[in-house]
Amino acid sequence: MPYDMVYGNGNSNVRVVDLRTDTLTKPTQAMRKVMAVAEVGDSVFGEDPTVCKLERRCADLLEKEDAVYLPSGTMCNLIAIMVHCNKRGVEFIAGNKSHVNLHELGGSAFLAGVHCSQITNKPDGTFCLQELQGRIKVKLDIQEPTTALIIVENTQNMCGGKVLPLEWLDDLAKIASQYKIPLHMDGARLMNAVVQSKVPAKRIAKDMDSVFFCISKGLACPMGSILCGTKSFIAEAKRMRKMLGGGVRQVGILAAAGLLALDEMIDRLQVDHDHTYQIAKAINDLQSSVIRVDLSSVQTNILLVEVDSKIIKGRDFLQKLNEVSESDTTQVCVRGGAINDGEVRFVLQWEVTDEDVNCAIEKIKMVVSQIHDDLKRRGKKRRLS
């Protein structure tokens, strides 16, 4: 996993609110019904009608010529790199906090022979376009890799689910066009960006040469992402899919859930966003000097919580949220992800209910209160000694 996971204590009488990530989602009952009766075929031969329907619909949604259904977003990114960077020893530019840089095991280098040139992500998920221009290498130098691709992530996961501004994307596209460098968007949570910004997916992806979005995560399908682009790009992407072992056969059973997700699960992402803000506001209202959030920066379903690591490490904070004793008034275990010593992450998804959110808030309040009580006791001991 992309960060340390801390788990609950196994007590079946304790309510568990799992906020580790939105990949935990299970298909809805409606999805299970359509999956049971889905028409299927061999999708590698292009003969699974349900897969073909899903690919066509996603391509139209993003106003791209074609699309291919792939097992994961990681494979989408890797295949996009392999197709765009079709010469070993070139480079792509991506944010230092991007998923493709941090959480894909260096697959671009190991499998594609392509170097990742990191550019610093700003807190809003963007990066400096002036710096980008200075980093682009188009004239061959015997000592340097040529820049063959630029990758952006929308929403930007490790910046807290930030939605990239349209104006910034437009300016980026002008630079890419000037240097004739293709753009790829890691849009794993693109539909969260659509709901937050109220801007259609086709507008957000307008200048992208390739783009994918997950139908798992918040959209609740059991598997898959859809990679979109030109017909020639997708034709080559399908070849790379076969090479990587990603050619699944009667996958229409899963694609049926994807079609339903496009109808029923996109608009409801707003509930996840509201739940995230609700938890963020509760933490902010505590006015704690140890556990803090930037309420103004909360946009979608990802909440980054700042932890004063001089007082308590992020993983230890999560451990306290997990621990439940019989004397606790709040019999709740809250799970989350520790990004580093000073930051933890909570992610909301469709199975987290209003009651879950309220319980999580009460547990967080209790733990923060305990942390401050412990600080007071330690301070008092120091004064007495």
Q: What are 258-269's pLDDT values in tens digits?
A: 999 999 999 999
Reported confidence tier of residue 186, pLDDT bands at 50, 70, 90: very high
Reported confidence tier of residue 155, pLDDT bands at 50, 70, 90: very high
CA distances from 1 to 103, 109, 188, 220, 278 (A): 8, 19, 16, 19, 26
The residue-averaged pLDDT of 14-20 equals 95
Nearest to 218 by CA among 2, 17, 26: 26
**Residue 377 neighbours by CB distance under 10 Å:** 10
- What's the pLDDT at 382? 62
Could you tell me the two tokens for 320?
């306290």
Query: Model confidence over 38-54: pLDDT tens digits?
Result: 999 999 999 999 999 99
Amino acid of residue 306: E
Domains of the chain (ranges, CATH numbers): 4-24+267-384 (3.90.1150.10), 29-264 (3.40.640.10)
Report d(CA 191, CA 233) in Å as an integer.
23
- What's the pLDDT at 2? 42
β-bridge partners, 211: 185, 228
- What's the pLDDT at 362? 96
The residue-averaged pLDDT of 300-314 equals 97
Query: Model confidence over 83-115: pLDDT tens digits?
Result: 999 999 999 999 999 999 999 999 999 999 999
* Segment holding 36, helix H or strand E: helix 29-36
- What's the pLDDT at 141? 75
Residue 32 CB contacts under 8 Å (≥ 6 apart), including other chains: none
Reported confidence tier of residue 381, pLDDT bands at 50, 70, 90: low
Reported confidence tier of residue 1, pLDDT bands at 50, 70, 90: very low
Angle between helix axes 252-264 and 29-36 (nearest 10 degrees) is 140
Q: What is the four-CA torsion angle of 106, 111, 117, 123, rounded to 10 degrees? A: -40
Q: Is the pLDDT of residue 35 over 70?
A: yes
Report d(CA 64, CA 383) in Å as an integer.
68
Q: What letters, b where the CB count within 10 A reaches 16 and e where it falls short, cover 260-275?
A: bbbeebbeebebbbeb
Contact status, residue 291 vs residue 320, Cβ threshold 8 Å:
no
Reported confidence tier of residue 8, pLDDT bands at 50, 70, 90: very low
Reported confidence tier of residue 380, pLDDT bands at 50, 70, 90: low
Report d(CA 281, CA 278) in Å as an integer.
5
Could you tell me the two tokens for 351?
């199975």
Task: Decide which of 147 and 381 is more confident.
Answer: 147
Could you tell me the two tokens for 255?
């694609």
Could you tell me the two tokens for 284?
């902010």
- What's the pLDDT at 3? 47
Could you tell me the two tokens for 347?
């992610």
